[in-house]
Chain A
Amino acid sequence: MTKPISIAAKTRQIVKKHGNAKGAVIAVLQDLQEAFNYLPKEALKTAAKAMDVPMSRIYEAATFYTAFSLEPRGKHVVKICKGTACHVRGAAILQDRFETTLGIKPGGTTKDGLFSLETVNCVGACALGPVVVINTEYHGQVTISKVDKIIKKINKEEGAQ
């Protein structure tokens, strides 16, 4: 690995990739989110300057869309699908279980930084409902005991490291 690149430098790189175009705000924010797992303040300020877009416009976009997070997210992001199909198949019960077991509400991150909990309005995998997406992996027909197993498994893997 080469020397870690600074937030500002990485941000300028990303802005440049999108041709410094003002219309690319959302695409730039998406790439920043992917690079840093959240949107650091420094990155937004650098991007605003590099794209010549007012910071307030950047911050509007960053706070409007749910895909963006201004806080660092946990290593494992748990997304509970709250689509209608999942709702009628008991998604709320799963949300309860994640909340009580992890001790966080949607939008929160556990103190050890392992888990973030989020809800998402339909991931479009309705046939599998209720669905939970962990990082990029889809879990279908999730039950409470599956929730317990998932959490246990991740905790174990992380503890073993």
Chain B
Amino acid sequence: MVNMIIDGKNVTARKDTMLLEAIRGAGISVPTLCAHESVSRSGACRLCVVEIKKGNRTRIVTSCLYGVEEGLIVNTKSERVLNVRRLVMELLLARCPESDVLQKMAEDMGIEAQTRYAVDTDKGKCILCRSCVRVCEEVVGVSAIGLFSRGSYKEVGTPYHEPSDACIGCGACVYVCPTGHIEMTSTGETRKIWGRTFKMQACTKCGKYFAPVDQLKFISKKTGTSIDELAVCTECR
């Protein structure tokens, strides 16, 4: 265990955890958009920044990636911290003016849109947190989507914006997306995502459509479980 002072409170935390967990464990809230529990962390959104003090030196770090340290003095609400969070929220509001998630979050933080910025109309609700890309690579293991171009042109998608052969239609990316940017539509027997339509498997017991056929094939290949066994939905299993 390590001992730290967070916002004036003595806090102990398990070794090998990140500051973010220690802070939240102490009952202090820290906003985040890109730290999703099912994927590795990238430090992309910068909302979780805190100010740390070691000896005489203070600096701003992202708490989601900074490991706890004995004797660390942490300020989660210093002026510098709040300025970074305000800037990030203002910038995201200008990028994704349609996002209700961001609007709600800004409201809770007492932040209003900065009217001096131009407003984007072509970015949808995507804040490039990269959780979708990471879940596709790290959890699903197909790497169907990626982050293309760079700078302000950066975007998430399938190569050439074409329906991807690698995609299995599992929808994990939709599940981890914090703003609801990724579109997935369903008719029952089909599901459409990233521009590709997938045939859904009907449960051989109850007849309910429950997963894309391609996803079941992928699981079967990976685990060796037979397709027949997988064609039964979880409720009927």
Contact = CB atoms under 8 A, between A and B. Distances in A.
A92 to B, nearest CB: 20
A83 B133 CA distance: 35
Contact of A59 (B137, B142, B148): B148
Interface in A11-69: 41, 44, 54-60, 63-64
A60 B148 contact: yes
A59 B160 contact: yes
Interface in A56-109: 56-60, 63-64
A54 B149 CA distance: 17
A55 B150 contact: no
Interface in B177-194: none
A55 B157 CA distance: 12
Contact of B148 (A41, A44, A54, A63): A63
Contact of A54 (B143, B147, B150, B160): B143
Contact of A55 (B133, B137, B147, B166): B166
Nearest to A41: B160
B166 A63 contact: no
B146 interface: yes
B158 interface: yes
A121 to B, nearest CB: 13
B143 A57 contact: yes
Nearest to B162: A41
Nearest to A66: B150
A86 to B, nearest CB: 21
B150 A64 contact: yes
Interface in B14-49: none
A59 B159 contact: yes
Contacts of B133: 56
A60 B146 contact: yes
Contacts of A60: 146-148
A56 B158 contact: yes
B146 A56 contact: yes
Interface in B125-182: 133, 137, 142-150, 158-160, 164, 166
Nearest to A55: B159
Given A41-B160, A54-B166, A59 B150 contact: no
Given A63-B149, A64-B149, A64-B150, A56 B160 contact: no
B131 to A, nearest CB: 15
A46 to B, nearest CB: 13
A28 B151 CA distance: 24
Contacts of A58: 159
Contacts of A59: 146, 148, 159-160
Nearest to A44: B159
B142 to A, nearest CB: 8
A64 B142 CA distance: 21
29 contacts: A54-B137, A54-B143, A54-B144, A54-B146, A54-B166, A55-B143, A55-B159, A55-B166, A56-B133, A56-B143, A56-B144, A56-B146, A56-B158, A56-B159, A56-B164, A56-B166, A57-B143, A57-B146, A58-B159, A59-B146, A59-B160, A60-B147, A60-B148, A63-B148, A63-B149, A63-B150, A64-B148, A64-B149, A64-B150
Given A56-B145, A63-B150, 8 more contacts: A55-B164, A56-B158, A56-B159, A56-B164, A56-B166, A57-B143, A58-B159, A60-B148
Interface of A: 41, 44, 54-60, 63-64
Interface of B: 133, 137, 142-150, 158-160, 164, 166
Sorted nearest first, the 10 A-B pairs with minimum C-beta distance are A56-B146, A54-B143, A59-B159, A63-B148, A60-B146, A63-B149, A56-B143, A55-B159, A64-B150, A56-B159
